[in-house]
Structures are given as C-alpha cells and as structure tokens.
Structure 1
Amino acid sequence: MKTVAMQLLLLCCSVLALACQDNPKKQVQGMDGISIIDKEDVKTHVIGKEVQLVDVRTAEEFAAGHIGHAVNYNIIDSQTFLKQIERLDKNKPVYLYCKMGGRSNRAALLLKENGFTEIYDYSGGYNNWVIEN
C-alpha cells in the first residue's frame, strides 16, 4: 500500500512540475493571436530585425532605458495610445513590453480588440531584459 501511495505522490509531483515549466511561445489562454514570449525570443526575433516593437511604459521610463529600436506608446494614456497604434500595420507582428508584464498584457488586449492579428507580449518586461544571464 505504501508503494502505491508513493508512486501516486511521485506522479502528482511530476505532473505539477511539468505544468509549471515555462513555455516561451505559449498562447495566452483564450486569446488567439497573442503569444507570451521570453528574453530569448526577443533576442532572436526582435533585436536587429525590422519589427514593430512597442514599449508601453511612460516617457520617463523609456528615457531611462529601452530595448532596441522600440517606439514609446504610453498605455496609461489610453486615448493617446489608441491613436498611436493607428500608425502600426495591423497585418504585421507587433512586439510589446513594459516594466514587468502587466501593462503590456493590457496593451495586447487593446491591440487585439482593434484588429491586430499577431501580437507578442514580452511578459518579463524591461526589468527582465536588463538582468544578466
């Protein structure tokens, strides 16, 4: 009986461990067209490429440092943000980031609502970007 219980416990722990692993390109649950990406994805698919990279932090945060050739569209000012995203091509990928992932997630949802079809959310954000590997 103890052996069966131990095996069951081991199986449960294994399932939980696998479920908690990071998948860098997993889809945000229930949101087709929005993908969560990590630092390696940004390095591979964004840096040095002609992509639409949007930093959704404040102008002050952007001035203190940003990723690559990003443009700064502050999500906190939602009316201006909605006007600024009109400059983007809805049929090309858009990469978003903020400080830690909260604001970029909100921006991704707004882009989706406004007809963008391929959205990548760097959920680690600028804080993750400046951490040395």
Structure 2
Amino acid sequence: MKQLIKWVFFLAVFANVASCQSQQDKTITKVDKQVIKSEVIGKEVQLVDVRTPGEYKAGHIDHAVNFDLSNQSGFLKQIETLDKNEPVYVYCLVGSRSAYAAKILQDKGFTKVFDYSGGYSDWVRN
C-alpha cells in the first residue's frame, strides 16, 4: 500500500512539473543575439533592461527601458505599463535576472516573453 501511495505521489508531482514546463514553453522563449538584432533592433517592440539604473546608465541596448528588478514593488508597477498581448523582450547582464523577470511576466499574464539569456555582456562582446 505504501508503495502505491509513493507511486501516485510521484505521478502527481511529475504531472505538475510537466504541466508547468509545458506552460512555460508556450510563454517564455530564450533568445540569442541574432534574434535581438533581427526582431528587436529598429522595430517597435517592448524591450526591458531589468538591471539596476547604474548598470543601465553605463550602457544598454538601444531603445530599452529600464525596469529595475531589484526594486520589486517598482518593477511590478512598471510592468503594468506594458501590453500583455504584445511580445516583451527582457535582458540583464548575463541571464539570471532576466529569467526571473520573465517568470514574473508570465505569472502576471503576459503571453509572449522573450528572454535574451546572454544579456548585455553577450551584446557588447564581439
């Protein structure tokens, strides 16, 4: 009986993880520098730099807005200004903060989130 309970529990956890992953795959897409160059630069898109204001001021991708993820309440207010039904591209320095920001956007109902996982450090690298 204990074995059956463990098996049912395992299946329930697995189904939940698979369901979450499936949903994430539909909403959040990791992108690279080539995608940013071809689909973002020179286009009317929502491009969000989630680094601190100091990092943003030191250099950022053209036309990106700065929504500082480290200021959680401010970040949540700022994302309310975005269109949830239009693509949102997010980046940080190397990809950790943008992945977290992408998850927040997904949780808030954004339907197309693109995470530039290489971040600004990849952008400035030759």
TM-score, length basis structure 1: 0.77
- How far apart are residue 119 of structure 1 and its match? 0.2
**Runs of 5+ consecutive residues of structure 1 not aligned to the other structure:** 1-28
Structure 2 length-normalised TM: 0.81
1:87 aligned partner, one-letter code = T
CA offset at residue 34 of structure 1?
Answer: 0.2
Inter-partner Cα distance in structure 1 for 2:100 and 2:72: 10
- SS in structure 1 at match of 2:30: strand
Task: Tell me what 2:64 maps to.
Answer: 70
Q: What CA distance in whole angstroms lies between the structure 2 residues aligned with 1:34 and 1:40? A: 17
Alignment equivalent of 2:40, drawn from 46, 56, 60: 46
Secondary structure at the aligned position of 2:69 is classed as coil
> What is the aligned length?
104
Deviations 1:95-130 (A, max 9, x none): 000000000000000000001000000000000000
Radius of gyration: which is bigger? 1
Structure 1 segments (4+ residues) deviating >3 Å: none
RMSD (CA atoms): 0.7
How far apart in 1 are the matches of 2:27 and 2:107?
A: 11
Identity fraction in percent: 57
Matches within 5 A, 1:27-106: 29-30=21-22, 31=24, 32-106=26-100
The structure 2 residue matched to 1:123, chosen from 101, 117, 120, is 117
| C-alpha deviation, 1:68, in angstroms | 1.0
Deviations for 1:30-55, whole angstroms, at most 9, x for unmatched residues? 41210000000000000000000000
Unmatched runs of 5 consecutive residues or more in structure 2: 1-20
